[in-house]
Chain A
Amino acid sequence: MNGFSSGRLSRRHVLRAAGAAVSLPLFDAMLPRAWAAPSTFEPLPKSEAVQPRMICCYVPNGVNIIDWVPTDTGENYTLSPTLKTLEAYRSDFTVLTGMGHPLSKGGHSGADTWLTGADLASKPGSDYNNSVSIDQLVAAFHGPHTRYASVQLSDMSGTGGAGHSHTLSFDATGSPLPAENSPRRLFERLFVPESTADRAAALARYAERRSILDAVVGDAKSLHRRLGTTDQKKLDEYLSSVRDTEKQVERMEQWIDRPKPQVSDKGLQLDSKSIDAHDRPMWVDVMLELAYLSFLTDTTRVITFEWSREAGGFGMGGENHHELSHHGGDAGMLGKLAVIDKGHLEKLGRFMGMLKKTAEADGSMLDRTVVLYGSGMNSGKGGDHSPKNLPLLVAGGSKLGVKLGRHIAFEEDKHPPLSNVLLSLAQRVGCEGEKFSDATGILSELVS
């Protein structure tokens, strides 16, 4: 490493004299970025994983609510201009209007509470306090049977900041679960077998981790006894994350002998970049294709997908989504916002189409897949950032008891809490819990 000096020709000399071009390994950064091309992925004909599952898709900044809300209700309702995009799937989805989370402030912290319904300011003296998200309740139920209890997708990886979450999922202590934004990394995690073929070495590694975690828990408990109550609560969060790590290690030990499913990456645009305006349509497509493959292979049964974090995002043509949510009622901006909404629904329709084309048991994958789609804020008629009358739709799950093909309308100042929708869907997917956040019961208009 150090020594190319003392007597010998230094490398520098050799290079200069020879005028040689040194061939360096091809770094990622050196490649001209291949423009991500439209997807050529085809859904598979049949699914063997006959299981209920759920995916929650979030779009930021609200929608053009004027073009979104249909004027009439019930099963023969007229599709609104934006919802017309899903005309081909009319009998496969239900749109709900007028709902919201009573405790949420909406606005650009909408993503933080969309699946939790929490009041972020509920704890005096604390700036931010969240609670468990509905997908984690489902994950606790189905998790033991799949390699990944749940998968979090987003356009920005990690957890993001408090109030600007990059993830929709929060665990039992209200801590965010970090999300993945890279299709390639996601593919590797889900479908590429681990390189360490040595089973014994892997097991030894896991055993070591468990012994370290044991030691840590002992110390933490003795520290716990010597702290005041507020400090104890902080330490409880730590202990909870230690226990989660222990459970993860146990899970890895249990799954060590089960190989990952063999999935080809043919046709998948794994190099699409999430924050690139040009790549946006390709990126949304590939993430939904990976979600589809995860369900098909029963790698997981619970997925949350934040299409963009709040105040971020692009339309399918690369438009700046956030700016348009500050339309202030301007007709031109509202028109452009509607175009973005339709673009999003096209992608959702494509995803539903893939699930519908794949046969499963006595129907298609879509029949046992609950798809929740919506936003945590409403820009209303005047560009404000309200938590009321949130855009929301539910697709799929017909064999699980979800009532589709209708418009269920509520008044924005008098409606059951949105958590009722979340709880109802969670129960249809198999979760047995009867309580969730501020839910007051099941929404019988939506589920049987």
Chain B
Amino acid sequence: MSLNYAYEIPSVPENQWIQNHENFARPTALVDWIEIEGPIYDAWPPSSHTKILFDSPLKSENLNDYVRAVLERFMSEAYRRPVTKEEVDEKFALYVANAKVKKSFVEKVKVPLTAVLINPSFLYLAEAHPGNFSEPLTDHELATRLSYFLWSSQPDAELRQLADAGKLTDPKTRREQVDRMLADPKADALVQNFVGQWLGLRQVGTNPPSRDLYPRYDRHLEVSIVGESEAYFKEFLQHDLDVRQMIKSDFVTINERLGRFYGIPDVRGDAFRKVSVPEGVSRGGIVTQASILSLTSNGTRTSPVKRGTWILKTLLGTDPGLPVANAGEIAPKVPGIDKATVRQRLEIHRSLQQCARCHNKIDPLGFALENFNAAGEWREQEAFGYKGNVDINDPKIDASSKMPDGTKIVGVAGLQQAMLKQDDLFLKSLATHLTTYALGRELGLADQPLVDGAVAAMKEDGTTVRSLAKAIVASDAFAAK
């Protein structure tokens, strides 16, 4: 039994006035007693046992045949394909060899089952086609690709039956399966694993905003901001919303903690739900989410360069390349300017030609987001005070910038408008990332028609994630090694 709690009780209460006053009245919960009963099983032996050692007359008639049957069913599920008689025989030999030293039947049968679970055919998704790259996949390999794409788990009974019947080579069947599979709760894995990799949510918390300067950022907030981005994508996936709204939407998917953090009132409870963004709150869209904003900062201050690079790579599908050698860190102080803002410290990117070449494309995107500090909070001034407090004389945020083509944008709203004008870039980027995820390999030049085709198909069908997934799944590339 273990008690697992995800939330660390913040050592710094959110209201700074209270910080030094421990003896103020606040609600307290006193636990009188806890009673825990269990474990409680629906049936004994539990279903995990009977799924493997299933009921059969063979059990009493012919134990050896029973073991063979158990092994065949277990192995075909584990290897995700039908198994040959030889393969079953080999494992059966293990059972016989160890049967003398084991006392109970369960102990004896565990030996070959263990061998199956450490077998490479179970541990790896093996598409055994030596050399030739565009060989068509077998039905069972297709079933595996589909289930690991949408569920991050192995094929279920229906997929296996379709594979046995040879139906999955038909793109139409695969498209139908997408609808069925997305409706299954296992599709949450697609949200977590794809979004975690695409937006970089897995990196949240590796370089967190410093406790000293951002006392509101604690474990509960960290868990919530990741949940927000996942819930956001799930909203688009399950309700077939136009994905271009991910750039700018009139709603957010938040819980109570984020409601307080973002300044959106009347949100109660820890669950994530769709909330309309009230007037005056600049949230709604991936670039306004605290997960992204804290990820693209360096723990003590914002990093417009990181933010610009992130937008270019993640949302617009362009790689700005690497900095020049010996670029070094930006200086914490600029000679002559007291309280130099991050923006001022980056001036050197514009004054040096070899830096400007790339940074003119990167920095403007980051500057537009300067109203969000390193923890993702909205700010009007850049804090220079003790422990991150904002002093009355601290410099005001300048979130204006000039795009490479000359357009002037101001703040996140301007950035979002500029991105919407180039929405094709976003669609292509999303399609590239989802295709990479589905195929499990890097895309090359030869895959460009696939991506372009997927985007075109998306647009004809509501520009939804579902339509994109279907286009990918129905493609030739999906059905080939």
Contact = CB atoms under 8 A, between A and B. Distances in A.
Given A125-B442, A219-B120, A219-B121, A329 B332 contact: yes
B115 A329 contact: no
B120 to A, nearest CB: 5
B97 A328 contact: no
A208 B98 contact: yes
Nearest to A208: B98
A215 B328 contact: no
Interface stretch (B128-136, B394-402, B407-415, B471-479): B128-136
Given A29-B3, A208-B111, A227 B329 contact: no
List the 7 closest A-B pairs by CB distance, nearest first.
Answer: A328-B332, A226-B128, A384-B329, A212-B115, A215-B115, A220-B120, A384-B328
B45 interface: no
Interface string A375-417: 0000000111100000000000000000000000000000000
Given A208-B101, A215-B115, 14 more contacts: A15-B35, A211-B94, A212-B115, A215-B90, A218-B90, A219-B87, A219-B90, A219-B119, A225-B130, A228-B129, A311-B206, A383-B329, A384-B329, A385-B329
A243 B323 CA distance: 43
A432 interface: no
A204 interface: yes
Query: Binding site of B, secondary structure by majority: helix, strand, loop or mixed?
Result: loop
Contact of A329 (B114, B128, B331): B331
23 contacts: A2-B40, A15-B33, A15-B35, A212-B94, A212-B114, A212-B118, A215-B94, A215-B115, A216-B119, A220-B119, A223-B126, A226-B128, A227-B130, A228-B131, A228-B133, A235-B124, A238-B124, A323-B210, A328-B331, A328-B332, A329-B332, A382-B328, A382-B331
- Which residue, A15, A212, A220, has most C-beta atoms of chain B within 10 A? A212
Contacts of B40: 1-2
A306 to B, nearest CB: 17
B91 A215 contact: yes
A223 B299 contact: no
Nearest to B40: A2
Contacts of B133: 228
A247 B245 CA distance: 56
Contacts of A1: 38-40
Given A204-B101, A228-B129, A216 B332 contact: no
Given A15-B35, A208-B101, A223-B126, A326 B329 contact: yes
Nearest to B3: A29
A330 B87 CA distance: 67
Interface of B: 3, 33, 35, 38-41, 87, 90-91, 94, 97-98, 101, 111, 114-115, 118-121, 123-124, 126, 128-131, 133, 206-207, 210, 298-300, 328-333, 442
Given A125-B442, A226-B130, A382-B331, A326 B118 contact: no
Nearest to A4: B37
A52 B206 CA distance: 39
A216 to B, nearest CB: 6
Contact of B97 (A2, A211, A384): A211
Interface string A80-103: 000000000000000000000000
A382 B329 contact: yes
A202 to B, nearest CB: 12
Contacts of A326: 298-300, 329
A347 interface: no
Contacts of B129: 226, 228
A330 B332 contact: yes
Contact of B98 (A211, A220, A238): A211
A229 B129 CA distance: 10
- Which residue, B90, B111, B332, has most C-beta atoms of chain A within 10 A? B332
Nearest to A238: B120
A383 B300 CA distance: 13
Contacts of B123: 238
Interface string A216-241: 10111001011111010011001000
Nearest to A225: B130
- Which residue, A164, A322, A323, has most C-beta atoms of chain B within 10 A? A323
A32 to B, nearest CB: 16
A293 B133 CA distance: 56
A15 B101 CA distance: 47
A336 to B, nearest CB: 13
A33 interface: no
A150 B329 CA distance: 38
A329 B98 CA distance: 67
Contacts of B206: 164, 311
Nearest to B98: A208
B207 A311 contact: yes
A40 B331 CA distance: 45
Contacts of A208: 98, 101, 111
Interface in A316-353: 320, 322-323, 326, 328-330
Nearest to A21: B33
Given A1-B39, A326-B298, A329-B331, A216 B210 contact: no
A8 interface: no
A266 interface: no
